[in-house]
Structure 1
């Protein structure tokens, strides 16, 4: 049974604002009626053909640098999340048809909802650094080191927190709104609707991590609260929120989520609960019985014994169970979305959509996350790879990051740079040239520009360069 929907006063945001096809960063408005291909289809196409999306092909989903075929990368994960997101968006729009029909912007149909969620899902991990979450932890840990504190003291609280609580989600918004650009400025210039659905955390680091002093003195950089926008893109976030008429959050000074961001989050969690666990079986970390038990829970069945059917392989059996689980999850999540649509529009929904689903669905998702934490994320092979990833990124940061505060006078680099630093700057220059930037006297922006370069690498590129900087000629492909 669904939880009782929240009763609210009339919503503060309407679908006419939330499905806005205006392009963030574009200097002109587009006529949505002139093409058979909607603006939201164009968003999807821009993402598919972008360099940053292609880089996800060799970025970690769960298992860094695995050589086993068939194990998910961020690219295959993103494609699968986008498929589930499209189904969630289409079904939610169908169930909300009467409410949507009266509030759609000119040139937009309810069919576009599925395309918006699909495009947003395709981009949801586009800002992730090499080695996945281990890469985020490595960057945070590097900036928390005592030797970095002198530099951090010269930054304001917003700038410090962007580094101490570094987030791939915020890097993703920076990439879409600023870095991955067409000939004009303004990033990829996606529609506000797609960017709104993409933003799981439409607030700055200071809004969810206000205690800068404690964070900078923390022994670990893993215990930070998520955020979705660096201080450097604060104006773009304000512009996006104004375009979508997003209400302010009740928890902090940031904005409430776009309702479709909840569908993106659900699509990501569904893949996490179903498909990522299958990788655990392929790597001999999990057993068929462990994973099948969770699939049955999500389907709503609890057989007394679980055994592999004699006429099916493990892969075939799990594919069958997965399809049944996905069908139920999509239906249940969209029911929760419709039942709580007023709360979503008002920016008042607490928790995820799964918190408002049938208890068997909640239990199944929680069991999947717990199993992944216990058996996958703490497996010795993954721990060893994460330690390697940490050392790899720290080597890159050790090498390149001093350029942010020693290399800001590029008119005569030989006067203040070592030979190594001069050569490192040569490696950075093509990246700076493409984005029409250079090192300046603003250390914060220099740091972010160097992070753009490092986090834009895939796992293999980062590993190779780290090896070479240590004097080892890497032959790894």
Structure 2
């Protein structure tokens, strides 16, 4: 791969340059303004990051998380590519490329979660589970649906993925001018494709991070192929996808820890105990152990300073200061992971996360594991997720069963007809454009995708409101 192709300025729909010749922005800076002015981006303010249906004003939403990822990604871009330029690790990289790279990463951070459904990652899990449980039992025209659909079509539904949904939303569903979505640049779209494989190509045992999940749907295969062939990132990740992934990991792992302490899921003393006694043996070498030990010592020193200053909440103050320190450590480690493996990344052969090959790996693992143990496995979160599950079960059942018969010669009930009229006109239009000239099996697949498109576009609040209205709850 080379940066000339990786930073190509191609969009799905081109436009006349004469009208914008006086515009000093590069193409990727123009993407930024398209994103922040979009309704899809604004909806992230009412989508869960960790705590489903939470009414508190402190914890992160998808919007605040995306802003943090955007900031970290841009900072990483500056750190990494200044180093590459300074030490002449790539003779083709130009000074002007760094500004473009940072603009892409800034935008990628804003949209990386834009396809996620309501109620956090639990929502993704529930959609997958619902289709796995129900599609084999459903019929269309006297035949079982799982026998009518091609393997990749079934795989798309049963392995539903927010990453793939983001690509779909940005390129098709955000209907404004035409069917090209936001019409963003290809390098930006390629950066958010963390997993450049279809649902039939998922292989969690391959040893390569790119095969862990799917990155695009069967319905969007043509735009995917156009993107990767235009940027030159064929059968591999775009290099900037590694940086976006690291920024996302740093943002959510540090934020989850801070939010967990603030909400009382874990105390300062528990956090310190776990860091000292549970994760030290995860350090692979002396350098990683030193980095980890410094971080633990820093937490203790911040607490001591807070006590000395007579602060009313020394524990929370210490943790909040420590989180900022850890973010700096992990950013530096991620930058090292990228620059030290630059050749393999540019060749498309690097198979891991960049933090995993740095001295920050044990610290990042500790944060993620504690969030899982103390927050995600807590009774409070389980209760919230059970409530969210009731909403998903109801909405998926109502809309999927109605969608199966929609736009066919088969007769549907009066209620099913009314249910379909509730779906946004934009999504219906996108379906009809995609379904034109397709086989009956592919139309059926696209109608099922129409349901996930609609539900994924909902905010937490709207999904809850619609559930209550349709189920007759006051």
CA-atom RMSD in angstroms: 2.7
Paired position in structure 1 for 2:76: 88
Structure 2 vs 1, CA of residues 418 and 391 (structure 1 numbering), >3 Å: closer, same or farther? same
Task: Give the drift of 1:416.
Answer: 2.0
Q: Distance in 2 between matches of 1:188 and 1:179?
A: 9
Match of 1:130 among 118, 121, 124: 118
Q: Distance in 2 between matches of 1:287 and 1:118?
A: 33
Paired position in structure 1 for 2:196: 202
Paired position in structure 1 for 2:159: 165
Paired position in structure 1 for 2:6: 18
| 1:238 maps onto 2:238 in alignment | no
Match of 2:425 among 423, 427, 430: 430
Q: What TM-score results when the alignment is normalised by the length of structure 2?
A: 0.85
Q: Distance in 2 between matches of 1:272 and 1:428?
A: 32
Q: Cα deviation per residue 1:370-415 (whole Å; 9 max; x = unaligned)? A: 11111111100101111111221110011111222212238xxxx8
Match of 2:259 among 265, 276, 279: 279
Whether the aligned pair in 2 keeps the contact of 1:355 and 1:362 (CA below 8 Å) is: yes
Structure 2 vs 1, CA of residues 460 and 226 (structure 1 numbering), >3 Å: closer, same or farther? same
Q: Distance in 2 between matches of 1:422 and 1:204?
A: 33
Match of 2:412, SS?
coil
Match of 1:335, SS?
helix
Q: Distance in 1 between matches of 2:258 and 2:180?
A: 39
Match of 2:432, SS?
coil
Match of 1:437, SS?
helix
Q: Distance in 2 between matches of 1:93 and 1:304?
A: 29
Paired position in structure 2 for 1:64: 52
Unmatched runs of 5 consecutive residues or more in structure 1: 1-12, 212-223, 248-254
Q: Cα deviation per residue 1:221-278 (whole Å; 9 max; x = unaligned)? A: xxx941110111111111011111114xxxxxxx211111111111111112211111
Worse-matched range after superposition: 315-324 or 269-278: 315-324
Task: Give the drift of 1:100.
Answer: 7.8
Whether the aligned pair in 2 keeps the contact of 1:299 and 1:325 (CA below 8 Å) is: no
Structure 2 vs 1, CA of residues 29 and 367 (structure 1 numbering), >3 Å: closer, same or farther? farther
Task: Give the drift of 1:422.
Answer: 2.1
Q: Distance in 2 between matches of 1:436 and 1:377?
A: 36
Q: Distance in 2 between matches of 1:37 and 1:18?
A: 19
Q: Distance in 2 between matches of 1:338 and 1:352?
A: 13
Alignment of 1:287-326 (within 5 A): 287-291=267-271, 300-303=294-297, 306=300, 307=303, 309-310=306-307, 311=309, 312=311, 313=313, 314-326=315-327
Whether the aligned pair in 2 keeps the contact of 1:199 and 1:257 (CA below 8 Å) is: yes
Whether the aligned pair in 1 keeps the contact of 2:49 and 2:62 (CA below 8 Å) is: yes
Whether the aligned pair in 2 keeps the contact of 1:124 and 1:198 (CA below 8 Å) is: yes
Paired position in structure 2 for 1:229: 216
Task: Give the drift of 1:299.
Answer: 7.8
Structure 2 vs 1, CA of residues 160 and 183 (structure 1 numbering), >3 Å: closer, same or farther? same
Which structure dedicates a bigger proportion of its chain to helix? 2
Q: Distance in 2 between matches of 1:436 and 1:208?
A: 26
Worse-matched range after superposition: 256-265 or 280-289: 280-289
Q: Distance in 2 between matches of 1:352 and 1:305?
A: 26
Unmatched runs of 5 consecutive residues or more in structure 2: 206-210, 277-289
Q: What TM-score results when the alignment is normalised by the length of structure 1?
A: 0.84
Q: Distance in 2 between matches of 1:210 and 1:378?
A: 23
Whether the aligned pair in 2 keeps the contact of 1:200 and 1:265 (CA below 8 Å) is: yes
| 1:401 maps onto 2:400 in alignment | yes
Q: Distance in 1 between matches of 2:333 and 2:251?
A: 15
Q: Distance in 1 between matches of 2:345 and 2:40?
A: 31
Task: Give the drift of 1:434.
Answer: 5.7
Whether the aligned pair in 2 keeps the contact of 1:298 and 1:325 (CA below 8 Å) is: no
Match of 1:237, SS?
helix
Q: Distance in 2 between matches of 1:294 and 1:54?
A: 37
Task: Give the drift of 1:298.
Answer: 5.2
Q: Distance in 1 between matches of 2:465 and 2:317?
A: 37
Whether the aligned pair in 2 keeps the contact of 1:246 and 1:258 (CA below 8 Å) is: yes
Q: Distance in 2 between matches of 1:363 and 1:164?
A: 33
Structure 2 vs 1, CA of residues 327 and 74 (structure 1 numbering), >3 Å: closer, same or farther? same
Match of 2:53, SS?
coil
Match of 1:246, SS?
coil
Whether the aligned pair in 1 keeps the contact of 2:204 and 2:213 (CA below 8 Å) is: no
Task: Give the drift of 1:356.
Answer: 1.4
Paired position in structure 2 for 1:176: 170
Give the paired residue count.
434
Match of 2:237 among 239, 257, 260: 257
Worse-matched range after superposition: 183-192 or 234-243: 183-192
Q: Distance in 1 between matches of 2:395 and 2:34?
A: 30
Q: Distance in 2 between matches of 1:80 and 1:173?
A: 20
Paired position in structure 1 for 2:350: 349
Paired position in structure 2 for 1:121: 109
Match of 1:420 among 395, 415, 419: 415
Q: Distance in 2 between matches of 1:236 and 1:305?
A: 47
Paired position in structure 2 for 1:328: 329
Q: Distance in 2 between matches of 1:326 and 1:449?
A: 39
